[in-house]
């Protein structure tokens, strides 16, 4: 279940909210911006406390996609869709198919201004179902002519970012014996955990799905409950699940050198970025001395600050 957060400011071009005619489920399609082109963003299937929480997630996620697509230099705006499950809902195969057919109709209603894709809780096979109702969908299975599961390349990108983060915060580019906490063992977080474990990282992991504990056991990783993950001393905390995990209280309690992860909108509020920055880096002076002693490469621009 996701965190209950306040609705963000409404600055979207268009938002469609429907009750699926087949599934009876809440569906929101949020188009934040099409300035750079047809909006692009995945379809999330998740459990929410209320329909307004599902709507808020769609609004926040779509706004983030505008920034992500622009930063990547894509000719694409930002959008997102959400299928909200009431607490305790378990979808059988028929109702799941009905839900994604309903999503396809909702996407089609925007006339090409928004393209959907896989996201948390959805799969490439689900996108194939969506394609029965609209052509405005990407990330189809390879067998269906699509690009296939994107989690592999995504996890590689996160790994590269984590290596850069370790270089910045610890002066090393090697995960061996580095303490890393991963909160979320889905398609991306699970793959990242497997790679880090193979390279000798000391892992602590968690997930809202207790069945993921089997992966922790297989990898030799320590398991903690989700609400305890941020309290574990670590070099890097990796939010790899739902958004909003970095509340003011969590940020203040973090016992880590750095945060780096694939979760969309990990901050509960944008002010959390300043709150993280204000914590500073008490390790920086020691790391500078250590780099001098060991002749380690410095992050770009640090030599000028030391002068």
5 three-state secondary structure: coil
296 secondary structure, DSSP code: P
255 three-state secondary structure: coil
Helices (H), 222-283: 248-253, 271-279
The first and second tokens of residue 298, run together, are 């410095």
Asked if residues 162 and 175 have their Cβ atoms less than 8 Å apart, the reply is yes
235 three-state secondary structure: strand
Angle (nearest 5°) at CA 240 between 234 and 245: 80
The alpha carbon of residue 173 and the mean position of all alpha carbons in its chain are separated, in whole angstroms, by 23
229 CB-near residues (< 8 Å, 6+ apart):
181, 183, 204, 206, 237
The alpha carbon of residue 181 and the mean position of all alpha carbons in its chain are separated, in whole angstroms, by 15
Angle, helices 187-198/151-170, rounded to nearest 10 degrees: 50
List 12, 32, 44, 80, catalytic entry = 80
**Torsion-angle region of residue 112: left (phi > 0), alpha (psi -120 to 50) or beta?**
left
State the Cα–Cα distance between residues 108 and 135, nearest whole angstrom.
8
Is residue 109 packed enough to be buried (19+ CB in 10 Å), middle (13-18) or exposed (0-12)?
A: middle
State yes or no: is 212 an active-site residue.
no
162: nearest Cα among 172, 153, 152: 172
75 secondary structure, DSSP code: S
Give catalytic residues, as residue numbers. 80
């Amino acid at each position: 279940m996701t965190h209950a957060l306040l609705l963000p400011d409404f600055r979207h071009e268009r938002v469609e909210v429907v009750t699926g005619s087949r599934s009876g489920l809440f569906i929101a399609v949020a188009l934040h911006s099409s300035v750079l082109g047809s909006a692009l963003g995945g379809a999330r299937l998740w459990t929410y406390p209320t329909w307004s929480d599902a709507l808020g997630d769609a609004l926040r996620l779509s706004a983030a996609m505008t920034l992500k697509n622009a930063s990547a230099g894509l000719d694409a705006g930002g959008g997102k869709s959400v299928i909200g499950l009431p607490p305790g809902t378990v979808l059988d195969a028929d109702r799941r198919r009905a839900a994604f057919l309903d999503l396809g109709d909702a996407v089609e209603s925007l006339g090409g201004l928004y393209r959907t894709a896989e996201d948390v809780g959805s799969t490439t096979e689900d996108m194939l179902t969506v394609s029965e109702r609209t052509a405005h969908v990407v990330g189809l299975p390879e067998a269906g002519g699509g690009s296939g599961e994107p989690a592999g390349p995504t996890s590689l990108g996160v790994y590269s970012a984590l290596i850069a983060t370790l270089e910045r915060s610890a002066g090393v580019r090697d995960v061996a014996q580095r303490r890393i906490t991963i909160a979320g063992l889905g398609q991306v977080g699970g793959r990242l955990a497997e790679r880090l474990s193979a390279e000798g990282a000391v892992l602590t992991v968690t997930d809202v799905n207790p069945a993921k504990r089997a992966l922790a056991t297989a990898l030799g990783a320590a398991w903690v409950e989700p609400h305890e993950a941020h309290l574990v001393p670590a070099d890097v905390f990796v939010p790899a699940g739902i958004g909003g995990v970095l509340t003011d209280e969590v940020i203040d309690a973090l016992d880590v050198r750095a945060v780096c992860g694939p979760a969309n909108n990990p901050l509960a509020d944008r002010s959390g970025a300043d709150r993280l920055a204000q914590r500073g880096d008490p390790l920086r002076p020691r790391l500078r001395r250590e780099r001098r002693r060991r002749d380690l490469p410095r992050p770009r621009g640090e030599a000028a600050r030391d002068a």
